[in-house]
A and B are shown apart, each in its own frame.
Chain A
Amino acid sequence: NAGVTQTPKFQVLKTGQSMTLQCAQDMNHNSMYWYRQDPGMGLRLIYYSASEGTTDKGEVPNGYNVSRLNKREFSLRLESAAPSQTSVYFCASSGVKGNQPQHFGDGTRLSIL
């Protein structure tokens, strides 16, 4: 029972490098989300996709891009990584109704030197 799968689990980048974080869900959910978690800040929404073919900015979208590749997959791209983007990134998915919980992956721990 995979649920939400994120790859990679850990990554170290140098400033200015680019990379894509991958996320896939097998629960047939319409909505998917990317968050970052920083100490003392809780979870902050970067981007979300309410349904296949749509994406919207969240609370902290600057420096990131996303692609909803199909219903299962939602990727997050850092075009030019900065040390301020060092964080733990979580992907989540859910149904479309507000009473349906989000399901989270185990996270990607990203360090930018």
Chain B
Amino acid sequence: GDSVTQMEGPVTLSEEAFLTINCTYTATGYPSLFWYVQYPGEGLQLLLKATKADDKGSNKGFEATYRKETTSFHLEKGSVQVSDSAVYFCALSDQDYGNNRLAFGKGNQVVVIP
């Protein structure tokens, strides 16, 4: 079945540092790919998405490019702020009409230190 793998462990970095969170996927069809963010005590919020190969999703300074050849959707931000501290989830959804179940990665805790 479809699955998403995120890099292990929390990520701790200093303010203004460059952030990368790796995400790779396995899917039989042509999935849409998503990054969600979860702030403490809250639900998940959509951060960005890409629906086909070579699409780049972007929002709030974060970017991710849908790479079909490497089955990846890595999240990047050039200069993080303390307010970016959160848990980040990569997810995929089958493109078929009527089937919008998401497969989630296990998430990465990001801690930004002033």
Contact = CB atoms under 8 A, between A and B. Distances in A.
Interface in A50-90: 50-51, 58, 90
B98 interface: yes
A97 B100 contact: yes
Nearest to A102: B102
B11 to A, nearest CB: 15
B12 interface: no
A94 B106 contact: no
Nearest to B29: A98
Interface residues of A, number: 28
Interface of A: 4, 31, 33, 40-43, 45, 48, 50-51, 58, 90, 92, 94-107
B25 to A, nearest CB: 13
Contacts of B96: 98
Residue in B45, B95, B98 with the greatest tally of chain A CB atoms within 10 Å? B98
Contacts of B105: 42
Nearest to B94: A98
Interface of B: 31-32, 34, 36, 41-46, 49, 51, 89, 93-102, 104-107
B100 A94 contact: yes
Q: Is the interface of B mostly helix, strand, loop or mixed?
A: loop
A104 B43 contact: yes
Given A31-B100, A33-B101, A99-B95, 18 more contacts: A40-B106, A42-B89, A42-B104, A43-B89, A50-B99, A58-B101, A98-B32, A98-B97, A99-B49, A99-B93, A100-B100, A101-B49, A102-B100, A102-B102, A104-B43, A106-B41, A107-B42, A107-B43
The 7 closest A-B pairs by CB, nearest first: A104-B43, A42-B106, A98-B95, A99-B51, A99-B32, A98-B93, A104-B44
Contact of A98 (B43, B100, B104, B106): B100
Given A43-B89, A98-B32, A104 B45 contact: yes
A41 B106 contact: yes
Nearest to A48: B101
